[in-house]
Structure 1
Amino acid sequence: MRVKPMRILAVDTATESCSAACLVEDKLHQCRVLNPRGHSRLLLGMIEEVLSKADVLRDDLDAIVYDAGPGSFTGIRIGAGVAQGLALALQKPLLTVSSLMTLAEALAGELRPKDRILAAIDARMEQVYWGCLERDEAALGGWRWHQSPRVSDPDTVSAFTAGCVGVGSGWDRYAAVFQKDDEIVWRAGAFPDAASGARIARCLLDQGASGEWRDATPAYIRNDVTG
């Protein structure tokens, strides 16, 4: 039983969207900017902004979480560096979340029982990072993977899209390939965000998760650098 509200700082720099969020129990304070090239310049100021809005000092945080990918190599490294530095300096637990799971989390309130989400992020080089998930409160982070995160060409992904709800920049670019002859519901213009990462982190902490800064490493999925 908690003796004080849980305070979680989340950052997400894995895609074109740069965001920070502070979750204090059920109250969320967030800042988000769509800026493909400005993450390193924006992130620290965004962190200070959400902490100020939440009236939370760095030392009072219970945990820090960052989006470990997949996504932009450069973006992920920025988020990892900032989150690891804060966790080390403050001696706080550091957790990671998947960018694909945060995309799914943003749709959680709109799903019907047993709905599956196929989250896909444009990986450039005519490929996408993708995974298929279903809401399951008993699973790690509140989501069960049907297809774990991977990188594939769009034609390969199209074999798994039937009956799913689509989300992510991969759908924005390859929806025509993914859908083929099926009419599939998908959310346009969606990016991973720190607010969803904070909610997943709260679930992980409630499930007993903890993390050391040195163990919270990026999940690039692909070895080729694409930005």
Structure 2
Amino acid sequence: MGTAGHHLLALETSSSVCGVALLSSDGQAFRLRSLSHDATGEHAERLLPMVDELLEQAGLRRADLDAIAFGQGPGGFTGLRVACGVAQGMAFALGLPVIPVVSLHAAALRDDGDEPIRAVVQDARMSEVYAAVYGKAADHPSGWHTLHEPVLLDVSDVLPWVRRQARHWARGNTPAVKLLGDALEAYPQMLGEVAVADASRAFDDGVILRRGGPLRACAETVAQLAWHAFQRGHTVPPHQAAPLYVRDKVAYTTAEREQGRGGNPKARPALAIRGMTEADIDEAAAIESAVQSFPWTSGNFRDALQAGYGAWVACEGGRIQGFALTMFAPDVAHLLLIAVRPDAQRSGVGHGLLRHCEGQALARGLPALILEVRPSNAQALAFYRNRGFSQIGMRKDYYPKDRNAREDALVMEKKLGAGHV
């Protein structure tokens, strides 16, 4: 009973809205159908019935589908898992590819303004936002490409972050940025004087900021982005589909609570990052020894400081929780070391240090940050990939292993400046 042509199903549950869309093409014309329901906590019960209802409206069966897309986030953890799980389950059963779509990109497509740069800020709770930036690109199928991958920011950091990076995003043009997303509604104080929809402000540094609407991703724009990816063959098998998480951790586990660690780890004392000094070397070396099989020595740290490498420590309550060292070359920043003491891991310290290193590289006008990581270090690989790094090469026999053995190093890179797709 199916109809000829291509049919793509899209699921979007990164916010309180549960949405499904069906994009059909006969090669000449497109038809986009959708259903949505705004009810937090009902995604798991609503999603599949809405899929079946939409297919019935179109006169299609599940077997007529060619691919399944889902909004992978960032967003509400429960909603993201629902959309990803349903997409994987249907794709496994039907033998179809899956197309993960960044939900913030889907939100950016909903605005109809003419500003060349759109920064999407979505409420991440706990006075934080998920943020990503998109720029007009005539050569990109969707018309908008990624200028900055999704990151997690404190509400108070949003305005300084936009002003600091706007010139990089603008590529020498007037740095005019439009902010949109539901965080504008959740945190009206975020942009200071730019407090009214469509209000704009020109700053002394030449940055022009305009306030957009509290838009969220929807299944229709997820379907549109997924269609472009499908046309180019940018799909993944079901087992590789995964939500996009940019927050290290939201709550302590039951076991951690039994050990006396209660509440929300994000509510711990404020993390302060400062330059590493000679007095910090022994404590930094102790952290390095606690987490590495072949650690740097105190002498190595001392040499790095004397060589002028960027070196910082992250402190909470006067105690050093972690450190990072970066070498700044003329054309790229090289993250040499980053380590967090074992009892402070997965609490945001590593993310904070990494963000600091990225900011230092951007302040020096460097377009990318590179690093090496062991292929066997699955936790580190996941950490870097979730923060926008991708593999660009391999160094053979780079790391010492055991006895006379050596281990390769994966070389990973994150683009920091404008033009990153």
Q: TM-score, normalised by structure 1?
A: 0.89
Match of 1:195?
220
User: In 1, are the aligned partners of 2:99 and 2:230 still within 8 Å (CA)?
Assistant: no
1:145 is displaced (CA, Å) by: 1.7
1:222 is displaced (CA, Å) by: 0.7
In percent, how many aligned pairs have the same letter? 28
Q: How does 1:45-194 map to 2 (within 5 A)?
A: 45-107=49-111, 110-112=112-114, 115-139=116-140, 142-159=143-160, 160=162, 163-180=176-193, 182=201, 184-188=210-214, 190-194=215-219
- Residue identity opposite 2:186 in structure 1: R
Separation in 1 of the partners of 2:142 and 2:98?
15
Asked which structure has the greater CA Rg, the reply is 2
Separation in 1 of the partners of 2:124 and 2:92?
31
User: In 2, are the aligned partners of 1:67 and 1:98 still within 8 Å (CA)?
Assistant: yes
Change (3 A) 1:49 1:225: farther
1:179 is displaced (CA, Å) by: 4.7
**Number of residue-to-residue matches in the alignment:** 219
Match of 1:215?
240
1:37 is displaced (CA, Å) by: 1.3
User: In 1, are the aligned partners of 2:63 and 2:94 still within 8 Å (CA)?
Assistant: yes
User: In 1, are the aligned partners of 2:123 and 2:186 still within 8 Å (CA)?
Assistant: yes
The answer to whether 1:35 aligns with 2:35 is: no
Q: TM-score, normalised by structure 2?
A: 0.49
Q: Please give the root-mean-square deviation of Cα atoms over the aligned residues, in Å.
A: 1.9
- Residue identity opposite 2:246 in structure 1: I
In structure 2, list runs of 5 or more residues that go unmatched: 164-174, 195-200, 202-208, 252-421
1:95 is displaced (CA, Å) by: 0.7
Moved more, 201-210 or 158-167: 158-167
User: In 1, are the aligned partners of 2:43 and 2:82 still within 8 Å (CA)?
Assistant: yes
Separation in 2 of the partners of 1:173 and 1:198?
27
Change (3 A) 1:130 1:13: same
Match of 2:8?
8
Relative contact order (C-alpha < 8 Å, sep 6+): which is higher?
Answer: 1
What are the Cα deviations for residues 74-100 of structure 1, in whole angstroms up to 9, with x where unaligned?
Answer: 110111111100000000010100110
- Residue identity opposite 1:187 in structure 2: G
- Residue identity opposite 1:77 in structure 2: R
1:203 is displaced (CA, Å) by: 0.8
User: In 1, are the aligned partners of 2:14 and 2:80 still within 8 Å (CA)?
Assistant: yes
- Residue identity opposite 1:136 in structure 2: A
1:142 is displaced (CA, Å) by: 4.7
- Residue identity opposite 1:29 in structure 2: R
Change (3 A) 1:175 1:136: farther
Name the structure with the higher strand share.
Answer: 2
In structure 1, list runs of 5 or more residues that go unmatched: none
1:175 is displaced (CA, Å) by: 3.7
Name the structure with the higher helix share.
Answer: 1
- Residue identity opposite 2:159 in structure 1: S
- The secondary structure found in structure 1 opposite 2:149 is strand
Separation in 2 of the partners of 1:125 and 1:191?
19
1:223 is displaced (CA, Å) by: 2.5
- Residue identity opposite 1:98 in structure 2: V
What are the Cα deviations for residues 185-221 of structure 1, in whole angstroms up to 9, with x where unaligned?
Answer: 3113x22111110000111112221220111111011
- Residue identity opposite 1:21 in structure 2: A
